[in-house]
Chains A and B, each alone.
Chain A
């Protein structure tokens, strides 16, 4: 039997815009993406796919995505004027619309973000009610919800790494909710996506970072 609703789903949520899949979900995708970039971007190319392609202006998803890239939360009244804020903060952006992308969920957004010499490409899906799925990061299959504490580890594809990392994390009293690995080829670089119910200590992260076969670690707290 499905979980019972909260009274705050009846009187709530407090939100901006006519539909949470077009606003709250979109803001969250952008906020997750800037965590991955590590900075508010200097430039962004935003592609809206399928059902989003036609409706993003009317439903204010364009203002929502820019607000998220500026790290505004989902119920921030500044969302309405996010374009003005983007000008002030020097964020340049372009919008694109693509239809008929049959491999994609109807409400999909691709973000190509740049800050200095860093670039990321993030594909996110807004699933309704503000729920999101970050489907892809830089070409790796991610499937993270950004609701939990997430660690993204880029590492050489060495035998035993997964078990080792799971061990280190659970020794830090973190319960792993989901864990997945994405590789572009065999023995190629692997990307590990680990979602945890609670936060991890800085020292544990530092230890993981120091491992010889680890290239990079990103830590993303829950995105609201």
Chain B
């Protein structure tokens, strides 16, 4: 059975068995976790349903966070009279923002792969389905493919901002989204994996520097930019432009960069945007200051 150790063996498996990319992901879950096929389809449908709801909620309900840093950004973009690129692009951006804002405002989302990156797949997939009129089943297959991508990234790099910086969270989610887009539009294996590789190349090095330690700034806007990069990489890969550096090596590069990243760039809110004067001011305002401090324990 395929264990999702790397992309190379995933490709080899599908070439030998002629299975579509999502099939070994399904088999993996059945054999490793004892789930049935029906449970897996149902679970993926539930995840996609929650993603769709998050987009909807973020675009219709009030999205303001306790800290004041989130204030209905998704809705503002959606309703903006200025269309810079295309109405579709505007929708993509507003949806990714909206779903992530739901998360920052204590609403329900799917951590895919993490809560910090929870706007990317909803933005990417809801827009893809609408534009290309795809059946739900196709999107669910795409979700399985993106789960396979995440398994490999988790194994050889990381999916957690605290371990690998923001490249590991929003970068991985963008790679998952990009691969799913190319898969759903009928790209071949090389094109799907190129989309993943190119996306990673665009997201490498991104540090995790959330202001006040809250998953709001810059996380929310990064969900939008990651969704955009997922699409630009998919466009490049579907045209057959090669990645040059193979996808497995891109994942290794991400792992290497993550390892050498200083801790102040790993969710500690001690570097980058969190450490700016304004960032620190906000932290002072939103973090609770009224704390009873116990004396040090004498041993």
Chain A positions within 8 Å of B, measured between CB atoms, are: 4-20, 23, 53-60, 63, 75, 77, 79-80, 96-103
Contacts and interface: CB of A to CB of B under 8 A. Distances in A.
A100 B212 contact: no
A4 B31 CA distance: 11
Nearest to A18: B215
Interface stretch (B87-95, B146-154, B227-235, B256-264): B146-154
Interface in B101-138: 103-113, 115-116, 121
A7 B144 contact: yes
Contacts, number: 131
Contacts of B46: 14
Contact of B115 (A18, A57, A101): A18
A7 B296 contact: no
26 contacts: A4-B28, A5-B151, A6-B29, A6-B33, A11-B112, A11-B113, A12-B43, A13-B110, A13-B111, A14-B47, A14-B108, A15-B108, A17-B115, A23-B106, A53-B288, A53-B291, A54-B287, A54-B291, A56-B288, A57-B66, A57-B288, A58-B213, A60-B106, A75-B108, A97-B290, A100-B293
B25 A16 contact: no
Contact of B107 (A6, A19, A77, A97): A77
B154 A55 contact: no
Contact of A58 (B112, B148, B212): B212
Contact of A63 (B106, B147, B295): B106
Given A16-B106, A102-B296, A103-B297, A10 B291 contact: no
B151 A10 contact: yes
B115 A20 contact: yes
The interface size bin for chain B is: 35 or more
B43 A80 contact: no
Top 7 A-B pairs ranked by shortest CB distance? A18-B215, A10-B150, A7-B147, A10-B147, A80-B106, A97-B291, A99-B291
Contacts of A56: 288
B50 interface: yes
A11 B214 contact: no
A52 to B, nearest CB: 10
A102 to B, nearest CB: 5
Interface of B: 3, 25, 28-29, 32-33, 40, 43-44, 46-47, 50, 66-67, 103-113, 115-116, 121, 143-144, 146-148, 150-151, 154, 159, 176, 212-216, 286-288, 290-297
Contact of A10 (B40, B109, B154, B216): B154
Contact of A8 (B43, B66, B293): B43
A198 B296 CA distance: 43
Nearest to B121: A11
Contacts of A75: 108
A80 B101 CA distance: 13
Given A11-B146, A54-B288, A60-B106, 15 more contacts: A6-B33, A7-B148, A8-B43, A10-B154, A10-B159, A16-B106, A18-B216, A53-B288, A58-B213, A58-B286, A58-B287, A77-B107, A97-B288, A97-B292, A102-B297
B213 A99 contact: no
Nearest to B172: A10
Contacts of B143: 11
Given A7-B25, A12-B43, A53-B288, A101 B103 contact: no
Contact of B112 (A5, A12, A54, A63): A12
